[in-house]
């Protein structure tokens, strides 16, 4: 494969926003690696993308199975020798639909949410940084949420003031912190690190009443994954708007 071809790994990419992000990036000529917990479902998604002309392949990547991280890194190193884009898209929300209040959310729900939404992202990113450093323009996009913004979540009258899902919100706040810290460490390198809010999107997590279609939900990730050398790093965005931490 030509060294000029960009390679992107997207976690949780066999459906929803992850799959749509893969479709949009793939149509731009990026080779897509679909990270999927269920490899069979990942292969099905990759086949659909190949059917519309996208160079796509599936990789088994269970965010809670740490040995998968090394296996994925080894596979990418063998086939491509570098990674240009990492989109940390996979996430869960265990307390939103369960009716948990902050005072009653089970400790297990907190731990499980952080394991997927924060710790797994940090560890996978660590495992893939050597490959991202080999890219001429590495890009890391952490899919966060407006609910990770304390500034937006706190004020009475805020559009999301009434939406308090403690485990999910706190995990995304932690993810935002990781974004800031990693971007600071990587200043002066060719890697840019940003967090994004995809919007309220019609997915399994967002529900049928969400106002945004999948294409709109993927737009911010695609934009930050393809920014040029003069683009931002250490930022938090929705579409073209910078969000407050």
Domain at 54, CATH number:
3.40.50.720
pLDDT at 159: 87
Q: Is 1 part of any domain?
A: no
Sign of CA dihedral 150, 156, 158, 160: positive
Query: Would you say residue 1 has pLDDT above 50?
Result: no
pLDDT at 231: 97
Q: Is 226 part of any domain?
A: yes
Helices 39-51, 16-27: crossing angle, 10 deg rounding: 40
Q: Is 87 part of any domain?
A: yes
Q: Is 120 part of any domain?
A: yes
Average pLDDT on 100-105 reads 88
% of the chain exceeding 70 in pLDDT: 94
- The domain of 98 spans 7-242
Q: Is 208 part of any domain?
A: yes
As for how many domains the chain has, the answer is 1
Write the CA distances from 146 to 28, 57, 61, 163, integer angstroms.
27, 31, 26, 11
Phi-psi region of 21 (alpha: psi -120 to 50; beta: other; left: phi over 0): alpha
Least confident window among 58-62, 149-153, 163-167, 239-243:
163-167
Average pLDDT on 99-126 reads 94
In degrees to the nearest 10, what's the CA dihedral of 184, 24, 79, 134?
A: -20
**Pick from 28, 29, 27, 61: which is nearest to 43 by CA?**
61
Query: Would you say residue 158 has pLDDT above 50?
Result: yes
Contacts of 94 (CB under 8 A, 6+ apart): 109, 112, 113, 167, 168
**Strand 85-88 versus strand 241-242 pairing type:** unpaired
87 beta partners: 10, 141
**Pick from 4, 5, 48: which is nearest to 18 by CA?**
48
Q: For this structure, is 236 an active site residue?
A: no
Q: Is 2 part of any domain?
A: no
99 or 78, greater pLDDT: 78
Write the CA distances from 241 to 40, 151, 197, 227, 237, integer angstroms.
37, 15, 10, 14, 6
pLDDT at 199: 74
Active-site residue, from 69, 168, 236, 238: 168
Give the distance between the most distant pair of CA atoms in the chain.
54
Q: Is 159 part of any domain?
A: yes
Q: Is 82 part of any domain?
A: yes
């Amino acid at each position: 494969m030509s060294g000029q071809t960009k390679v992107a790994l997207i976690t949780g990419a066999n459906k929803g926003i992850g799959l749509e992000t893969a479709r949009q990036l793939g149509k731009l000529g990026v080779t897509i690696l679909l990270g999927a917990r269920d490899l069979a479902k990942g292969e099905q998604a990759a086949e659909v993308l190949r059917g519309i002309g996208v160079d796509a392949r599936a990789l088994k990547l269970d965010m809670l199975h740490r040995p998968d991280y090394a296996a994925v890194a080894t596979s990418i190193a063998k086939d491509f020798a570098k990674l240009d884009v990492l989109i940390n898209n996979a996430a869960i929300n265990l307390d939103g639909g369960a009716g948990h209040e902050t005072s009653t959310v089970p400790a297990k729900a907190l731990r499980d949410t952080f394991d997927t939404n924060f710790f797994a992202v940090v560890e996978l990113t660590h495992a893939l940084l050597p490959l991202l450093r080999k890219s001429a323009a590495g890009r890391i996009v952490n899919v966060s949420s407006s609910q990770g913004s304390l500034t937006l979540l706190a004020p009475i009258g805020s559009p999301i003031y009434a939406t308090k899902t403690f485990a999910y919100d706190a995990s995304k706040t932690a993810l935002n912190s990781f974004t800031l810290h990693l971007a600071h460490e990587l200043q002066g390198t060719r890697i840019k690190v940003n967090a994004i809010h995809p919007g309220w999107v019609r997915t399994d997590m967002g529900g049928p009443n969400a106002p945004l279609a999948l294409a709109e939900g993927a737009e911010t990730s695609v934009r930050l994954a393809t920014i040029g050398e003069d683009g931002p790093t250490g930022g938090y965005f929705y579409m073209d708007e910078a969000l407050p931490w």
